[in-house]
A and B are shown apart, each in its own frame.
Chain A
Amino acid sequence: MQFRFSKFATVLIASGIISLPLTASANDSSELEELRGLVQELSQQVKVLQRKGELNEEDAAAAKKATPVVKAGDTGFGIESADGKNSIKLGGLVQYDYRTFDQGANDVRNRSDARAGTLDTATGFHDANDTWLARRLRPNIQGTLFGKYDYRFQEEFAGGSASVVDAYVDGRFDPAFKVRVGKYKPYVGLERLQSGGDLKFIERSYVSNNILPNRDQGIAIYGDILGDKLNYAVGFNNGVVDGGNASTSSEFDNDKEITARLFATPFKDDANALSGLGFGVAATYTDATAEKNLNFTDTSAADGTRNGLPSYVTNGQQTFFRYSPAAIADGKRFRVAPQAYYYNGPFGLITEYARVSQDVSLSTGGSVAAGGAGGNNLSDATNRIVQGSRKKLSNDAWQIAATYLITGEDASFKGVKPKNNFDFDKGGWGAWELALRYSEMNIDSDTFKNSNGILARQASSGEASTLATTDAVILGTSFADPTYSAKKAKSWTAGINWYLNSNAKIVLNYEQTSFDGGNGAGPAFTGTTANTFNAASNRVKDRPDERALFARFQVGF
């Protein structure tokens, strides 16, 4: 029994021994198949996931090509289509000034409607005011459509009311053929074409502010030729008075102003000392009849316009010259302006000359408020041009300004990018620039002479009726009163520009201006003697010097 058990056990064990590997082998095989299937399935799933990842990347790359790009940086904020052909950009320029006058008058002498200020009874001048001033508050929208049509719309909120500064469309059909339509800076003055945020001084010079056009409405064709080394521009505009800034209303006369400019940068591609040299010449021409100019006060020069004629201001923006109320623009106006700049490393120089020849007559018409007889029709008996009174008066101005970046940045016609932005934590001090300018403005001597060629003041109220005949001749109406308006202004400006970064700037300017004439009669300046400005006697006194300190805080983007 024991044997049988042993034998049975042996058989069981033997069968177990034999059968165990068989069972294990069968299980392994099926598990292996199962595992193989699982691995294959997992492998497929991994491959699918990888492929989907690839496709997502392809989709993302394709979407990126079509997704508009949002831009926010020191050049402004905007949106641009993926191909760069369409864009809109928001920009802005804020300039806040503090202006203080050690000495200076706020207008010509004896202005009855002088702006607020303390009247110096001894001289007849109102003091220029110390003031905080929002000089430019200009948000703008600009951009491109279809890759070649640029637009710009810039408003002005400084000065107590809102107005349109720029509103134009550019068609860039070819580098040599571009067209600009709207309200824009006419291609004339070099310094005027420099952006208001890039100016090296707080105010532009006499050339820009008093003679050449500021902004006008019209069309310009312009472009770069000869390897972009010669820029040309011609314009066909409504026309504005000296320093004038057209409103966006319709034209007041039918006579358009033609502008033309050539500006060369012949060495711009060279790497030598002349590469930063640019020079050119610009001109404007119009011919406007007096009748259209009578009472025309709609456009604004730096400080108002009357009868189509400007008034002129100092670099401190105080009026030093006004035409008499009877003077009226009557005929041709021609301006010419040679100009140049030079930049080499941290050194910059800009110089410009402008001369305007303006046909001017005397009228008996014009508004009563402006001193005329009233009415608008110069052909009637009351309101008429004084026969034979027309003169061609030529005024000119020039400036030369030098700048030097003491922190070593490169000077340019455009803004300055500091090597190190001002930063307390990192120790950067921004860029510092010294600036010095001399500019002057000369009024034609004939402006102050009567029809006999004698320097003549206006008769004061009540004086005219009591004048002797000789006096009446000598006091006969001139185009401007030398005892009120100065004949010449000469200004020195010294400045420091502190560029905190590409967008923020602090500017400090000291301005000193001296004048010839414009300050009442000297001891012998009477109606009975032919007078001159420079004679030892019978001379017109000079308006007191203007001494001013201006500070500006600017942010632009």
Chain B
Amino acid sequence: MKKSLLAITLLASVFSIAAPITASAKDVTLLNVSYDPTRELYQDFNAAFSKYWQAKTGDKVTVKTSHGGSGKQARSIIDGLDADVATLALGYDVDQLYDKAKLIPKDWQKRLPHNSSPYTSTIVLLVRKGNPKGIKDWDDLVKPGVSVITPNPKTSGGARWNYLAAWAFAQKKYGGDEAKTKEFIGKLLKNVPVLDTGARGSTTTFVERGIGDVLIAWENEAFLAQKELGVGKFEIVVPSLSILAEPPVTVVDKFAKKHGNEQVAKAYLEYLYTEEGQEIAAKNYYRPISEAVAKKYESQFPKVSFVKIDEDFGGWQKAQKTHFSDGGTFDQIYQK
């Protein structure tokens, strides 16, 4: 009897101490390392997620973000920038986190729906009001006297999508003739006066510095420029052919585990797939993958004929090796 009483007393003591600890709210800080033009998207999304997570768990989440050229951001994480999540411009850059540092599992892309891409985008052309150079399609970008703004594919994920979209157009135009395709891309690159390291840098060059006749841009970035950065000063030209960009997201397992943030990091990314997450993406001009939300915002996004990275370029690993690795087509053309 006495032993039981003692045991109960002890247990009660333990629970009375443990219960407040278990129930007490935590302050959590999450680092999202992302690519250049997602600043506005994640500013809105982070606020929504923090509110959601606090309501659900009581924990206060502060999400810090870092933005830059997608390739540069991947290298930063590999070099030790301890991101809890990476939301980059293309799958190849996320693959590097496994290939170079084993920060994530090899099959990272299977962990979330839609190959871990909660939203998509495409590449469009942004011209100045009235389209003074009469730009209608990729053809017009290689004409003498047309100044084209696009970032450097060596550092920018967006630039790689731009390059591949133009490449796909030229391939189609010249019936797969690689020499002519390269000549086309060469002419286009000769019309580029400034190679920024990231997509946001190119937007700054075109919109704020007033350089160039046309900006090859993420669709979301073009919308942002047109509707928010320079209202009435720009027009979007949808080319006859573009590429479906699928920016992926992943938990950076090693760092999230180190910070004890695995659960909240996973929830953060999963929240991108919820209706609210998709709404925020759409409002920031990213194409939602949710059919319902896509339908709601149907009128916002022009219809575009797409090529796809997996079907038309053999996936990112192959595309990277062929076009952007040292000695790839970009180096061959740009160094001429």
Contact = CB atoms under 8 A, between A and B. Distances in A.
A44 B147 contact: yes
Task: Find the residue from A44, A47, A51 having the highest chain B CB count within 10 A.
Answer: A51
A451 B197 CA distance: 89
A332 interface: no
Interface stretch (B29-37, B204-212, B225-233, B262-270): B204-212
Interface in A24-50: 44, 47-48, 50
B196 interface: yes
B13 to A, nearest CB: 30
A52 interface: yes
Interface string B186-202: 00000001101100010
Given A55-B194, A55-B201, A47 B147 contact: no
Contacts of A52: 194
Contact of A47 (B196, B201, B210): B210
Main secondary structure of the interface of A (DSSP, over half): helix
Nearest to A47: B211
Given A47-B211, A51-B211, 15 more contacts: A44-B147, A44-B193, A44-B212, A47-B209, A47-B210, A48-B193, A48-B211, A50-B209, A51-B194, A51-B205, A55-B194, A55-B196, A55-B197, A55-B201, A59-B197
Nearest to A83: B80
15 contacts: A44-B211, A44-B212, A47-B209, A47-B210, A47-B211, A48-B193, A48-B194, A48-B211, A51-B194, A51-B209, A51-B211, A52-B194, A55-B194, A55-B201, A58-B197
Nearest to A52: B194
A215 B197 CA distance: 55
A59 B152 CA distance: 13
A44 B149 CA distance: 12
Contacts of B197: 55, 58-59
Chain A interface size, as a band, is under 10
Interface of A: 44, 47-48, 50-52, 55, 58-59
Contacts of B212: 44
A58 B151 CA distance: 14
Contacts of B211: 44, 47-48, 51
A178 to B, nearest CB: 22
A205 B211 CA distance: 75
Nearest to A43: B210
Contacts of A55: 194, 196-197, 201
Find the residue from B196, B209, B211 having the highest chain A CB count within 10 A: B211
B2 to A, nearest CB: 42
A51 B151 CA distance: 13
Nearest to A54: B209
A43 to B, nearest CB: 8
A48 B148 CA distance: 12
A51 B196 CA distance: 9
Contacts of B147: 44
Contacts of B196: 55
A274 B197 CA distance: 57
Interface in B101-127: none
Contacts of B194: 48, 51-52, 55
Contacts of B193: 44, 48
B73 to A, nearest CB: 13
A495 to B, nearest CB: 50
A52 B193 CA distance: 9
A47 B210 CA distance: 8
A55 B194 CA distance: 9
B255 to A, nearest CB: 16
A48 B209 CA distance: 9
Contacts of A58: 197
Nearest to B212: A44
A44 B145 CA distance: 11
Residue of B194, B201, B212 contacting most chain A CB atoms (<10 Å): B194
Interface in B162-197: 193-194, 196-197
A48 B194 CA distance: 7
B79 to A, nearest CB: 9
A47 B205 CA distance: 9
B55 to A, nearest CB: 36
Interface in B212-230: 212
A508 to B, nearest CB: 52
Contacts of A44: 147, 193, 211-212
